[in-house]
Amino acid sequence: MIVQTEKRRYTPEEYLELEETAEYKNEYRDGEILPIPEVTTNHNKIAGNFCKKFPLTVQGQNYDIYMSDVKLWIPNYQLYTYPDVMVIKGEPIYEGTGTTNIINPLLVVEVLSNSTKSYDKTDKFKYYRSIPYLQEYIMIDQYSFAVEQFAKQSAGEWIFKEYEGENAVLKLHSVDFEITLPEIYQRVNFELSDD
């Protein structure tokens, strides 16, 4: 006879307390705590290259950019997650009393890996779309020169654009900024794909 054990459900407060001392990062999804897969060196280089090229001031407007250590709280889905890159226009709006959980990204960038690309393209994008501040979602493939862009137009409408090849240039909609794919993939070795 197989005995099923009931999964323990956690409150957001319990998750935040556990996450403070956790050895590895975890995502919180509506009561469940799920480990986040470790990233490859290519994954880290791609996120770093985007951050390095992104200007903090564009046409007199101030932006902050955060890489994978700041949590994003999505209240509609009871989700805490760590996007690879988040861009915020103006000041961050914090959830809770600390300065580690924000709610107002203008732009989110995820670097796709074999283990996460399905989630990043489906459920996670659905969760992100519920954020009223979010205007753009970028997914960067870590195995080839390929980027997918979703830009919010009006209530519920998102425009999709795909960029492929070494000559492509990603032009953002939410910020007056563009970056070439060779800049995004600078020093990335596509032969390393061990995730």
pLDDT in tens, 93-137: 999 888 999 999 999 999 999 989 999 999 999 999 999 999 999
pLDDT at residue 56 in the model: 86
pLDDT > 90 fraction of the chain, expressed in percent and rounded: 83
pLDDT at residue 192 in the model: 74
pLDDT at residue 59 in the model: 82
**C-beta contacts of 66-71 below 8 A and 24+ residues apart:** 66/102, 68/39, 70/100, 70/101, 70/102, 71/19, 71/100, 71/101, 71/102
CB distance 23 to 175 below 8 Å: no
pLDDT at residue 130 in the model: 96
pLDDT at residue 191 in the model: 85
Selection from 176, 158, 74 nearest residue 121 by Cα: 158
pLDDT at residue 87 in the model: 97
pLDDT at residue 98 in the model: 87
pLDDT at residue 78 in the model: 97
pLDDT at residue 101 in the model: 95
Q: Tell me the whole-structure pTM to 2 decimals.
A: 0.92
Q: What is the mean pLDDT of each run of 10 residues along the chain (195 residues)?
A: 67 95 94 93 96 89 92 97 96 92 98 93 96 97 97 91 97 96 96 67
Partner residues linked to 107 by β-bridges: 87, 136
pLDDT at residue 193 in the model: 64
